[in-house]
């Protein structure tokens, strides 16, 4: 089966046909480092990490560019309010995003360019647009993209220019635009802004507009045309629409396919700081194991809204405990499986088919749970060969999702104190049950088993003695 991925631009699922066979270039809109990340920021990072891992597993050489926007209006405003240099403010929150990404096991991008490091490329692109008649200056430092010069504007989001509301702005210079819909490529400094937040250009001193940054950096690292441009659903308009317009107006093919991850919502409302419903990543990761958070963000297909409610993490934690419990018991029973073997293992056909179907993770996880059930049954039957087969397959599938429990990312971070304490308590009960059964006091043995079952512990008898596992509400 070929890999099919949804294209936001055509609103259809299409076969991936890379421009260069065997290689895939991806540009992913990264963070604007104005403040600390919340769980909504983490979803696109996790979604495109899964895409990257699946492409790599299928044998593609993936180049993933994830930018950092380290200069914009909000960064300047918040830095001034905090009494720090704007670049220092940006650096603080860039580290916060990186820390959250690392905690969740998100692979580092191939390159992670900062906007402020690519001003020459932005100036080149801006000059090209002016020369082609698609941009104009209204005074020192102010350059605008002329949307009416590009007849395909609105094509990405299927909108007509006359139906669109202009971008809100309080710039005095905005009154000089030819059309209210024209957007800024370059912005003259506002009164009171620091001198360090502006650069010299042929059009006067100023700083870049948000949209220009990404077009320039995508061109710098991926060339005139590349395979996939990704980001959160909220970026489709105006950011991605404007990126596409200015890049294609400059004569570049730009992105062959657009992919967008859906929002994290609470009670149906998009999670955001402005609405006061953003759950900070640092607070969340201080309370919940990072693997559990990653599982919760991964388990819903990337184009589906993820409703974040009271049970979200409880359900993710219960599933993660079942997965890690099996991997620990099976590894103890059949021996540790080398990671190289896991990476080379053939994946179950159903899992691969689900991932090829626009990263249908819920369907892929159904295969994971089938394998988990088979593995637990093999352990209970003392079928070591079958248990090992299930262990390798389970770990291989979870590795694609960035969730292999035996990966050092999770194994080294695991706090086993609770598990160790539970194991010790349950083992005392199992020893008492074994003693009762040896004395033919089956009533006492059954009573111990029933008490454990009532506490959510399932006892599995085998020729090698009794083993235990946490009860699975799904029967796996």
| CA 453, 457, 458, 462 torsion-angle sign | negative
Which of 76, 83, 88, 82 shows the shortest CA–CA distance to 192? Answer: 76
Burial of 48 (0-12, 13-18, 19+ CB in 10 A): buried
Tell me, what's the pLDDT at 219? 98
List per-residue pLDDT tens for the chain, 476 residues long. Answer: 799 999 999 999 999 999 999 999 999 999 999 999 999 999 999 999 999 999 999 999 999 999 999 999 999 999 999 999 999 999 999 999 999 999 999 999 999 999 999 999 999 999 999 999 999 999 899 999 999 999 999 999 999 888 887 765 556 566 789 999 999 999 999 999 999 999 999 999 999 999 999 999 999 999 999 999 999 999 999 999 999 999 999 999 999 999 999 989 876 666 665 555 558 999 899 889 999 999 999 999 999 999 988 899 999 999 999 999 999 999 999 999 999 999 999 999 999 999 999 999 999 999 999 999 999 999 999 999 999 999 999 999 999 999 999 999 897 554 444 555 566 677 778 878 888 888 888 888 888 888 888 877 888 787 767 877 766 555 55
CATH number of 309-411: 1.20.120
Under DSSP, is residue 310 helix (H, G, I), strand (E, B) or coil?
Answer: coil
Which of 74, 114, 70, 102 shows the shortest CA–CA distance to 88? Answer: 70
Distance of CA 227 to the CA centre of its chain: 18
Which segments are annotated as binding site? 29, 214, 239, 243, 273
Which segments are annotated as binding site for Zn(2+)? 29, 214, 239, 243
- Taking the C-alpha atoms of residue 156 and residue 9, their distance in angstroms, rounded to an integer, is 5
- Residues 320 and 289: beta-carbon distance below 8 Å: yes
CATH number of 4-261: 3.40.50.620
Q: What tokens does 143 get?
A: 């350059």
- Taking the C-alpha atoms of residue 284 and residue 293, their distance in angstroms, rounded to an integer, is 8
| CA 241, 247, 248, 254 torsion-angle sign | negative
Q: Which residue has the tokens 């209970």?
A: 380
Which of 186, 213, 214 shows the shortest CA–CA distance to 198? Answer: 186
Q: Where are the domains of the chain?
A: 4-261, 309-411, 417-470
Buried b or exposed e, range 274-308, using 16+ CB within 10 angstroms: eeebbebbeebbeeebbbbbbbbbbbbbbbeebeb
Q: What tokens does 135 get?
A: 């941009």
Which segments are annotated as binding site for ATP? 273
Tell me, what's the pLDDT at 417? 46
């Amino acid at each position: 089966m070929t890999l099919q991925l949804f294209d936001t631009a055509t609103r259809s699922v299409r076969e991936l046909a890379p421009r260069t066979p065997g290689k895939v270039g991806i540009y992913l809109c990264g963070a604007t480092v104005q403040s600390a990340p919340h769980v909504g920021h983490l979803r696109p990072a996790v979604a495109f990490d899964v895409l990257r891992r699946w492409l790599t597993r299928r044998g593609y050489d993936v180049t993933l560019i994830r930018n950092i926007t380290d200069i914009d209006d909000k960064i300047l405003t918040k830095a001034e309010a905090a009494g720090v240099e704007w670049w220092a403010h940006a650096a603080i929150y860039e580290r916060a995003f990186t820390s959250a990404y690392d905690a969740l096991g998100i692979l580092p991008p191939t390159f992670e360019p900062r906007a402020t490091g690519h001003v020459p490329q932005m100036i080149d692109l801006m000059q090209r647009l002016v020369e082609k008649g698609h941009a104009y200056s209204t005074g020192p430092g102010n350059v605008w993209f002329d949307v009416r010069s590009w007849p395909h504007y609105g094509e990405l989001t299927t909108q007509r220019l006359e139906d669109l509301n202009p971008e809100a702005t309080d710039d005095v210079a905005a009154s000089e635009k030819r059309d209210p819909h024209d957007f800024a490529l370059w912005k003259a400094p506002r009164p009171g802004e620091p001198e360090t937040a502006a650069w010299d250009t042929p059009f006067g001193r100023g700083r870049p507009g948000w949209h220009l940054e990404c077009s320039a950096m995508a061109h710098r690292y991926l060339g005139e045309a590349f395979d996939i441009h990704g980001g959160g659903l909220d970026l489709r308009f105006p950011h991605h629409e404007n990126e596409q317009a200015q890049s294609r107006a400059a004569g570049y093919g730009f992105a062959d396919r657009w992919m967008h991850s859906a929002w994290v919502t609470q009670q149906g409302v998009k999670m955001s700081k402005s609405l006061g419903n953003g759950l900070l990543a640092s607070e969340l990761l201080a309370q919940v194991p990072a693997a559990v958070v990653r599982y919760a963000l991964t388990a819903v297909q990337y184009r589906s809204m993820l409703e974040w409610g009271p049970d979200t993490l409880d359900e993710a934690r219960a599933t993660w405990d079942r997965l890690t419990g099996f991997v620990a018991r099976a590894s103890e029973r059949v021996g540790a499986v080398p990671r190289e073997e896991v990476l080379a293992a053939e994946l179950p056909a159903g899992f691969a088919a689900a991932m090829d179907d626009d990263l249908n993770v819920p369907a892929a996880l159904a295969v994971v749970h089938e394998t988990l059930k088979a593995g637990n049954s093999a352990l209970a039957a003392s079928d070591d060969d079958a248990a090992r087969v299930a262990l390798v397959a389970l770990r291989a599938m979870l590795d694609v999702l960035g969730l292999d429990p035996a990966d050092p990312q999770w194994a080294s971070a695991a706090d086993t104190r609770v598990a160790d304490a539970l194991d010790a308590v349950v083992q005392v009960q199992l020893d008492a049950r074994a003693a009762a059964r040896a004395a033919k006091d089956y009533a006492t043995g059954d009573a111990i088993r029933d008490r454990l079952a009532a506490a959510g512990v399932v006892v599995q008898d085998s020729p090698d003695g009794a083993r235990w596992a946490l009860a699975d509400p799904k029967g796996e």
